């Protein structure tokens, strides 16, 4: 009795899933400037920005591959939005601003200047060091910096003037 039911369910499962298409990310969909950038990063928490730039744009493997110089300046503003009666801040509003300047070292393309701003709210649980809260802030900060870099990368990949310039040279 149980074996026919199991076979019936198995047939339904296989028949129902026969129309599913499995999609893999195409590894050849690489950016036209990937692994061609030299980075100049300044500002606060530059290690987060540099880590995100390298993971999204790659790093130069050969010194002769230098084609672009990407200057990125990261600025941070922290505003205490909720202050308790004892002057302890319970809500912090972070604003991250990154200014990008992409220069073609061969001088074939125009310089690209772009500015992106992201904001998020952090709720510290206590004064001083709190492992969970500080780790949460660090992770959120990294996510917003990475999001900022992805916006710039998307801009470059969809900017027709930049695409035509990099394809011509």
Q: 92 near 121, Cβ under 8 Å? A: yes
Domain ranges of the chain: 32-161
Q: What is the CATH architecture assignment of 32-161?
A: 2-Layer Sandwich (3.30)
**Tokens 């039911």, residue?**
5
Q: End-to-end alpha-carbon separation of the chain, Å?
A: 71
pLDDT in tens, 87-109: 666 788 999 999 999 999 988 88
pLDDT in tens, 154-164: 999 999 888 88
Q: Can you count the helices (H) and strands (E) in the chain?
A: 4, 4
User: What CA–CA distances, in Å, run from 37 to 25, 101, 102?
Assistant: 24, 12, 9
pLDDT in tens, 107-165: 888 999 999 999 999 887 766 556 667 788 899 999 999 999 999 999 999 998 888 88
Query: Average pLDDT, stretch 26-39?
Result: 74
Between 154 and 23, the more confident residue is: 154
């Amino acid at each position: 009795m149980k074996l026919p039911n199991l076979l019936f369910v198995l047939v339904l499962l296989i028949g129902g899933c026969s129309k599913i298409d499995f999609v893999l990310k195409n590894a050849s969909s690489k950016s036209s400037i990937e692994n061609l950038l030299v980075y100049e990063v300044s500002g606060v928490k530059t290690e987060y920005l540099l880590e995100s730039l390298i993971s999204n744009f790659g790093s130069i493997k050969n010194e002769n591959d230098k084609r672009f110089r990407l200057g990125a300046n990261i600025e941070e503003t922290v505003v205490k939005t909720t202050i308790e009666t004892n002057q302890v801040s319970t809500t912090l509003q972070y604003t991250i601003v990154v200014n990008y300047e992409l220069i073609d070292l061969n001088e074939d393309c125009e310089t690209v200047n772009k500015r992106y701003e992201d904001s998020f709210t952090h709720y510290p649980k206590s004064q001083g060091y709190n492992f969970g809260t500080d780790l949460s802030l660090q992770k959120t900060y990294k996510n917003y910096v990475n999001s900022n870099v992805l916006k710039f990368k998307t801009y470059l990949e969809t900017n027709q003037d930049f695409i035509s310039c990099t394809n011509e040279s």
